[in-house]
Amino acid sequence: MELSGFAKAQFLSVNMAFGFAVTAGAYVCAGVSGAHLNPAVSLSMFLLQKMSGRLMLVYWLAQFLGCFVGASLVFALYFDALHVYGGGNWTVYGPQATAGIFASYPSEHLSVINGLSDQVIATAALMICILAIIDEDNNAAPRGLQPFIIGLIVLLVGLSMGFNCGYPINPARDLAPRIFTGIAGWGLEVFRAGDNWWWVPVLGPMIGGVIGTFIYEMLVGIHHSVEQKNEEDGEEHHPPEYELVQSMA
């Protein structure tokens, strides 16, 4: 669920709102779906054989629909403000542009290749942290506080890696509101803008999520398997991860 409206605020406030919106969403959904809010995270869990491919597709659809509904709620909540601020126009560019409230657009300095590497690195970092925070064999955060700590990490990613294009790091959170704005009056410019930027925050997080998962399993997860081999000899708690590492090596 995309609850965070985000208009005309300063950098830190917006990042805090984003981070803790993830916290809020995770608390709400944790018991039912395991707090899958991000298609890139769901893809990782599928690769780690923690969910089936079919369930992943269902989650992807739900994530996309949730973000679409969230965007329409933001639209409803700030309808008057958007109307006044934009002078009645819905524009992607210029001083009264409001499309950036819903989806990401690259800074002027950013090339597409650097934008893609930005999204890959940021999502990989996020994924490594999430996997660590929920890893009971590592120093996992207490279960009832994992949404808070993960929200904090999203805040961190925003503060440290949000200068290029506002850290979408989530294909559903970026594409669904973009489509909403395309329908709601901003037009097809939302896809053409930034040298057809729209696909970067969709593909980048997917690649980054997979890379982050791979790095975590190689650098940290593999220790768990080895330790278990040494200490318990043959009784492995995490065969799926271990096999993944094997098959990916």
Report the amino acid identity of residue 77. L
User: Quick one: 130 or 244, whose CB is closer to a copy of itself?
Assistant: 130
User: Quick one: 52 or 107, whose CB is closer to a copy of itself?
Assistant: 107
Q: How far apart are CA 186 and CA 81, in angstroms?
A: 16
User: Quick one: 35 or 176, whose CB is closer to a copy of itself?
Assistant: 35
**Six-digit token string for 200:** 């970067």
User: Quick one: 146 or 181, whose CB is closer to a copy of itself?
Assistant: 146
Closest Cα to residue 81, out of 66, 59, 96? 96
